[in-house]
């Protein structure tokens, strides 16, 4: 503990001896889980490690595996200190706030109970860190029904134990996925003059009790720069608002509340850590640590899992430069075509400059085209002859008929089954931005596209931006253009078509013609006839920010759109006459959003998007979210997958994800990832994945 050296270790032991104690070798079954003792052999120490272990209720009668908490006591304390949290664990497990866990509470008597959980280099020091992280963990995994994966291990501690928990989580990312760091005795750059960290040889060298060099090497600032973002650590830091204050004003920087805030602010800047900080009422004692432990478990416990997360598989598509996902199309022969924007050359193709459009057929060809400016793809659609349509925007002269263009122009390209570009059509208002965000193939082989324009392509612009809808013929001629807007900023993101109706979705900052504003950014859906006549429009969502990113037509004729409402994933279904048939919302405490929707047999749909919460087993950052909804909007399945970093969203928190139903009935999903796939490498700076999931 970071008390001054004049507080006796014996007094600390008395303070922590209050509460439930386990009788060595016996099991207490009075309330919920059981508490017993054990010993782990340690080759590092040449002796056994004593520990208390909490086993959840019913452990002896079951066969299930359980996550494990490793709870480290403070300086001068014993393994008995943590037994007081047994009732907290019982209550949280009984009320399903956390999964049933095993809690291991090791005794750490070495260096006069001031070992700081590190491998000491002092003459009389002991290799405590190696003993606990190697020998104890191996023994626990061999003795109890655990899961030997980092997602199933959490390390926690208070005071000196908080410093140990932090050290273990950062230095052993392969072992621990989360840490509860309570009132940590971590000091930067060096401990204050009266800290017991200087007294017991934990940070010593040879005959010297304390070495500045050793301390700096083992402290957290030295660990942060080398953390692996592909092994993310969830960190919960808590401290009391009335912890011990150093009497020397020169050491005020080392007060535990100050050091805890410094730790949090340093840790949260690491791409490998997601950190939280809580300041509690109380001092350096269990008035803080007991409620802080419960809060830590409420935050970190639900993320513990004996099953590893589902990852994205190799290979990724893209370059070492910036890349963005741009669509996926499924063909009758079982092949897939993906589109994306690449910041460099792909498969030996020529890189025109900045971002180029790239279209790739799985197991086949790749076609890269662009200008010296940016090109982005926002949709790929299959054609009956095996070819594809691709749409997006360009800042250059992509079709050879727009010399000097410097504004965003919409474009549509048609490629044949061998990947040859048959035509490119570029259009837009001169000196104004025009972008396409949605594409659907027309029955005759032409295209319907949607997006926005800041110009006047179909009468005057109604506001800042108007939603744009256009029809192209099979030869690439623009047949008609429609603008739809109100006084605010209006964008269209999704489009779908059947034989009689076009459905367009988007977001608007003010009321669109024929709709009622709900507040904030409004999600909207509109229906058009094949000649571009709008038949109805309506808003969806609530008083917060909402939008609809994509739409499809089900096998039973409903238009189903997906997006977000106030931070939750929203999916809504409408009849051809504009009546809402059903609505589904998926909500976690974090951000969730639908980005793509594709039809399944029997009127069902598959939704793909992203979540920063927990739907299944969290991989890290934003994960890919998948939903299966039946014909009435009831949820049949939900899952998440991804890498340790952000997937399916761009740096602006915008979804970058597309999905389609394959010929075999599976769901193909492509999107942006900043992580590393299973069994492969990441080119870097954002790459494009393609995965196929069961429907």
CB-CB contact of 476 with 496 (8 Å): no
Residue 495 carries which DSSP code? E
Q: What are the E-state strand segments in 166-303? A: 178-182, 205-206, 233-240, 273-280
Q: What does the domain layout of the chain look like in residue ranges?
A: 9-303
Interacting residues of 88 by C-beta distance below 8 A, sequence separation 6+: 290, 293, 294, 297
CB atoms under 10 Å from CB of 4, counted, come to: 14
In 3D space, the residue among 272, 398, 376 whose CA is nearest the CA of residue 322 turns out to be: 376
CB-CB contact of 398 with 427 (8 Å): no
Which pLDDT belongs to residue 246?
81
pLDDT tens track for 298-324 = 999 999 999 999 999 999 999 999 999
- Alpha-carbon distance 75 to 113, whole Å? 6
Q: What is the dihedral of CA 35, 37, 41, 47, to 10 degrees?
A: 140
In 3D space, the residue among 213, 196, 66, 204 whose CA is nearest the CA of residue 128 turns out to be: 204
Q: For the chain, what is the largest distance between any 2 Cα atoms, rounded to a whole number of angstroms?
A: 89
Place of tokens 């096998």: 555
Cα distances from 204 to residues 123, 199, 219, in angstroms, run 8, 9, 13
Place of tokens 């209550």: 91
CA-based torsion, 344, 346, 351, 353: positive or negative:
negative
Which pLDDT belongs to residue 18?
27
Question: Has this prediction a pTM greater than 0.75?
Answer: yes
Interacting residues of 651 by C-beta distance below 8 A, sequence separation 6+: none
Which pLDDT belongs to residue 31?
53
Domain 9-303 coded CATH 3.90.1150.10: no
Residue 207 carries which DSSP code? T
Successive 10-residue mean pLDDT values, the chain, 695 residues? 30 30 38 92 98 97 96 98 98 96 98 97 97 98 98 98 98 98 96 93 97 98 96 96 85 91 97 96 97 98 95 95 98 97 96 97 97 98 97 97 95 98 97 97 96 96 96 98 97 97 98 96 98 98 96 98 98 98 97 98 98 93 97 98 96 95 97 93 95 94
Tokens linked to 203? 């940070």
CB-CB contact of 478 with 472 (8 Å): yes
Query: What are all long-range contacts of 512-518, with beta carbons under 8 Å and residues at least 24 apart?
Result: 512/467, 512/484, 512/485, 512/486, 512/537, 512/539, 513/484, 513/486, 513/537, 514/538, 515/539, 518/542, 518/543, 518/546
- DSSP element (H, E) containing 113: helix 110-113
CB-CB contact of 689 with 336 (8 Å): no
Cα distances from 546 to residues 54, 284, 379, 536, 656, in angstroms, run 46, 45, 22, 19, 17
Place of tokens 């940070």: 203
Which pLDDT belongs to residue 9?
30
Residue 399 carries which DSSP code? S
- Nearest 5°: phi and psi at 36? -145, 180
Task: Find the radius of gyration of the CA atoms of the chain.
Answer: 30
- DSSP element (H, E) containing 265: helix 256-267
| DSSP-assigned beta bridge partners for residue 39 | 50
CB atoms under 10 Å from CB of 224, counted, come to: 16
Q: What is the dihedral of CA 604, 609, 615, 621, to 10 degrees?
A: 170
CB-CB contact of 377 with 451 (8 Å): no
How far is C-alpha 418 from the chain's CA centre?
A: 37
CB atoms under 10 Å from CB of 184, counted, come to: 27
């Amino acid at each position: 503990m970071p008390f001054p050296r004049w507080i006796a270790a014996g007094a600390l032991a008395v303070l922590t001896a209050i509460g439930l104690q386990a009788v060595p070798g016996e099991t207490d079954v009075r309330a919920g889980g059981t508490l017993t003792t054990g010993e782990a052999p340690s080759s590092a120490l040449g002796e056994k490690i004593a520990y208390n272990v909490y086993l959840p209720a019913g452990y002896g009668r079951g066969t299930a595996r359980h996550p494990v908490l490793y709870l480290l006591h403070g300086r001068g304390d014993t393994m008995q200190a943590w037994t007081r949290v047994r009732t907290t664990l019982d209550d949280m497990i009984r009320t399903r706030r956390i999964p049933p866990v095993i809690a291991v509470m090791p005794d750490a008597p070495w260096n006069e109970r001031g070992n700081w959980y590190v491998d000491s280099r002092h003459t009389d020091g002991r290799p405590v860190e190696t003993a606990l992280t190697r020998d104890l963990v191996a023994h626990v995994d061999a003795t109890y029904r655990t899961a030997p994966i980092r997602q199933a291990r959490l390390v926690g501690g208070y005071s000196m134990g908080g410093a140990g928990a932090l050290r273990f989580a950062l230095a052993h990312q392969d072992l621990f996925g989360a840490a509860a760091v309570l009132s940590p005795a971590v000091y930067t750059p060096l401990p204050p003059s009266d800290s017991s960290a200087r007294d017991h040889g934990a940070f010593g060298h040879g005959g010297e009790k304390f070495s500045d060099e050793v301390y700096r090497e083992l402290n957290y600032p030295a660990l942060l720069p080398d953390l692996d973002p592909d092994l993310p650590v969830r960190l919960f830091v808590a401290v009391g608002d009335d912890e011990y204050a150093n009497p020397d004003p020169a050491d005020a920087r080392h007060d535990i509340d100050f050091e805890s805030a410094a730790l949090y602010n340093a840790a949260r800047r690491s791409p490998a850590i997601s950190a939280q900080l809580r300041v509690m009422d109380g001092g350096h004692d269990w008035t803080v640590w007991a409620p802080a432990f419960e809060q830590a478990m409420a935050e970190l416990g639900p993320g513990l899992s004996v099953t590893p997360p589902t990852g994205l598989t190799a290979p990724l598509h893209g370059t070492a430069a910036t890349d963005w996902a741009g669509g996926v199309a499924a063909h009758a022969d079982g092949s897939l075509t993906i589109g994306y924007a690449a910041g460099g050359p792909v498969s030996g193709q020529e890189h025109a400059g900045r971002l180029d459009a790239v279209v790739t057929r799985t197991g086949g060809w790749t076609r890269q085209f662009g200008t010296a400016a940016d090109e982005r793809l926002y949709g790929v659609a299959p054609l009956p002859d095996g070819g594809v349509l691709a749409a997006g925007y360009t800042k250059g002269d992509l079709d050879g008929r727009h010399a000097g263009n410097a504004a965003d122009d919409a474009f549509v390209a048609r490629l044949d089954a061998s990947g040859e570009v048959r035509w490119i059509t570029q259009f837009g208002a001169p000196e104004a931005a025009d972008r396409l965000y949605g594409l659907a193939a027309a029955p005759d082989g032409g295209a319907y596209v949607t997006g926005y324009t800041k110009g006047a392509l179909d009468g005057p612009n109604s506001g800042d931006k108007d939603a744009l809808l256009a029809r192209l013929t099979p030869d690439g001629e623009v047949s008609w253009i429609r603008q739809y807007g109100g006084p605010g900023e209006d964008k269209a993101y999704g489009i779908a078509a059947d034989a009689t109706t076009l459905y367009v979705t988007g977001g608007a900052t003010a009321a669109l013609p024929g709709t009622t504003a709900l507040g904030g950014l409004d999600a909207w859906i509109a229906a058009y006839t094949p000649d571009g006549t709008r038949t109805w429009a309506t808003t969806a969502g609530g008083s917060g920010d909402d939008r609809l990113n994509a739409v499809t037509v089900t096998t039973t004729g409903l238009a189903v759109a997906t997006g977000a409402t106030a931070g939750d994933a929203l999916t809504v279904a409408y009849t051809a006459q504009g009546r809402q048939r059903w609505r589904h919302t998926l909500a976690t405490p974090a951000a969730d959003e639908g980005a793509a929707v594709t039809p399944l047999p029997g009127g069902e749909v598959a939704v793909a998007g992203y979540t920063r919460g927990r739907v299944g087993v969290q991989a890290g950052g934003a994960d890919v979210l998948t939903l299966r909804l039946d014909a009435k909007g009831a949820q049949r399945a939900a899952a998440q997958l991804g890498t340790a970093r952000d997937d399916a969203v761009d740096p602006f928190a915008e979804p970058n994800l597309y999905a389609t139903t394959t010929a075999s009935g599976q769901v193909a999903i492509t999107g942006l990832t900043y992580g590393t796939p299973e069994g492969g490498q990441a080119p870097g700076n954002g790459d494009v994945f393609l995965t196929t999931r069961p429907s």
